[in-house]
């Protein structure tokens, strides 16, 4: 008899336990993977359409401010739009330099013969310099002073993007410095960048002093500490991401006001954190998390290795072009290192298309090597 009396009570309570567990599993899942599974998308956000490039924005678990709601709506619409299908897609090469372009000759050689598949933009922040190559003449945009590590650097990058966006055929936007060189011929780089759906924006979490240590709580509520990211400034991005940069003033303002070099607190460098953090929050699956521009930090100094003439050999270039895994090292004690393969449209491929930093004196050697590029590398 006790059995039959308990049964009716027992059954609903089991159901409730199951229900409660299911709800908590979902809630936990939604918290940990807010934009991964379509079922959760369906439940927690409207407008989550199938397909990798129509991801919803990560779901927020607090009340949004008016500006945040407006920003998220705009960004969601931009990401939802089908990728612009230009009949004549071009790559915008955007040079950020104090003035001169010591590798103009090399770039000229690289670009020559590919006339309607690229556009050049030059932001010379210190002095106006006459260009020699017809590909570069008249391509300087209005510029302003740039201070290393300050918001003016991000402003110059935004200025380049805005100018390059004026041409509707520009579909991929590459930021380069005066000390950058191309590692492959035009065809290779063009195909690598145009036939991909992601932006190559370097992005990783560094819990150390030169990573999250630079975060400021003044960035709350919009930017939480757990979302703060770091990465190399040298990005290459798809058109829809360039438009997102134009549309953002909310997150930009947070970096402008609270990610600075200060005498007191930790130094923060907006150009190393703004884009990685923005895209980590807005479209994490839309970025590759590495930069296609190689740089060698292995000497562990404040600046990366800069190559001199004697360093520039076939072997060096072969070494750089054969790297197919990306290393991220944190500034924690002890350091933590992560190694990830570079995956391009589902296959492992070399990570890098460009490299820096090269002294101007290396031009002659690079031109010589570049003349045999296809066969050499």
Ligand X SMILES: *[C@@H]1O[C@H](CO)[C@@H](O)[C@H](O)[C@H]1NC(C)=O
Site residues for ligand X per CB under 6 A = 53, 83, 195-198, 280, 284-285, 287-289, 313, 315-316, 319, 345
- Cβ closer to ligand X: 65 or 197? 197
Burial classification of residue 291, based on how many CB atoms lie within 10 Å of its CB (0-12 exposed, 13-18 middle, 19 or more buried):
buried
- Cβ closer to ligand X: 72 or 123? 72
CB 366 within 8 Å of CB 105:
no
- Cβ closer to ligand X: 107 or 200? 200
Give the nearest distance from C-beta 68 to ligand X in angstroms.
20
Q: 136 - beta bridge partners? A: none
- Cβ closer to ligand X: 4 or 50? 50
Give the nearest distance from C-beta 296 to ligand X in angstroms.
9
CB 97 within 8 Å of CB 75:
no
Give the nearest distance from C-beta 214 to ligand X in angstroms.
18
SS3 label, residue 199: strand
Give the nearest distance from C-beta 290 to ligand X in angstroms.
9
Q: 97 - beta bridge partners? A: 124
SS3 label, residue 349: coil
- Cβ closer to ligand X: 38 or 197? 197
Give the nearest distance from C-beta 251 to ligand X in angstroms.
16
Give the nearest distance from C-beta 349 to ligand X in angstroms.
13
Q: Extract the tokens encoding 131.
A: 């260009």
Q: How far apart are CA 122 and CA 140, in angstroms?
A: 5
In sequence order, which residues have a C-beta less than 8 Å from that of residue 235 and are 6 or more positions away?
174, 175, 199, 200, 201, 202, 275, 291
Cα three-residue angle 167-83-341, rounded to 5 degrees: 105
CB 133 within 8 Å of CB 161:
no
- Cβ closer to ligand X: 313 or 338? 313
CB 162 within 8 Å of CB 131:
no
Length of the chain, in residues: 377
Give the nearest distance from C-beta 297 to ligand X in angstroms.
14
- Cβ closer to ligand X: 197 or 374? 197
Give the nearest distance from C-beta 287 to ligand X in angstroms.
6
- Cβ closer to ligand X: 116 or 315? 315
CA quadruple 338, 339, 340, 342: dihedral sign: positive
């Amino acid at each position: 008899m006790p059995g039959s009396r308990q049964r009716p009570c027992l059954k609903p309570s089991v159901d409730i336990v199951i229900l409660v567990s299911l709800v908590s599993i979902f809630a936990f899942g939604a918290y940990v993977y807010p934009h991964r599974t379509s079922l959760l998308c369906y439940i927690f956000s409207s407008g989550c359409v199938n397909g990798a490039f129509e991801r919803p924005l990560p779901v927020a678990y607090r009340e949004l401010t008016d500006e945040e709601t407006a920003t998220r709506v705009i960004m969601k619409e931009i990401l939802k739009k089908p990728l612009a299908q230009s009949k004549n897609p071009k790559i915008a090469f955007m040079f950020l330099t104090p003035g001169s372009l010591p590798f103009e000759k090399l770039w000229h050689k690289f670009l020559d013969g590919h006339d309607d598949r690229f556009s050049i933009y030059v932001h010379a922040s210190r002095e106006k310099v006459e260009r020699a190559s017809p590909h570069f003449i008249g391509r300087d945009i209005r510029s302003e002073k740039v201070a290393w590590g300050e918001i003016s650097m991000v402003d110059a990058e935004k200025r380049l993007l805005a100018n390059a966006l004026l041409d509707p055929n520009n579909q991929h936007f590459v930021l380069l410095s005066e000390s950058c060189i191309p590692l492959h011929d035009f065809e290779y780089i063009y195909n690598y960048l145009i036939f991909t759906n992601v932006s190559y924006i370097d992005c990783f979490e560094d819990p150390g002093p030169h990573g999250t240590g630079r975060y400021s709580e003044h960035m709350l509520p919009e930017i939480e500490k757990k979302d703060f990211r770091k990465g190399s400034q040298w990005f290459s991005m798809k058109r829809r991401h360039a438009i997102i940069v134009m549309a953002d003033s909310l997150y930009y303002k947070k970096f402008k006001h609270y990610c600075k070099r200060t005498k007191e607190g930790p130094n923060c460098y907006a150009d190393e954190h703004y884009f990685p953090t923005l895209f980590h929050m807005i479209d994490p699956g839309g970025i590759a998390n590495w930069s296609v521009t190689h740089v060698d930090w292995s000497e562990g100094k404040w600046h990366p290795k800069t190559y001199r003439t004697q360093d520039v050999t076939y072997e060096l270039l072969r070494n750089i072009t054969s790297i197919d895994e990306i290393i991220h090292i944190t500034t924690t004690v002890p350091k933590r290192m992560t190694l990830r393969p570079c995956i391009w449209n589902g296959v492992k491929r070399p990570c890098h298309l460009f490299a820096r930093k090269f002294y101007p004196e290396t031009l002659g050697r690079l031109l010589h090597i570049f003349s045999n590029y296809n066969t050499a590398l």
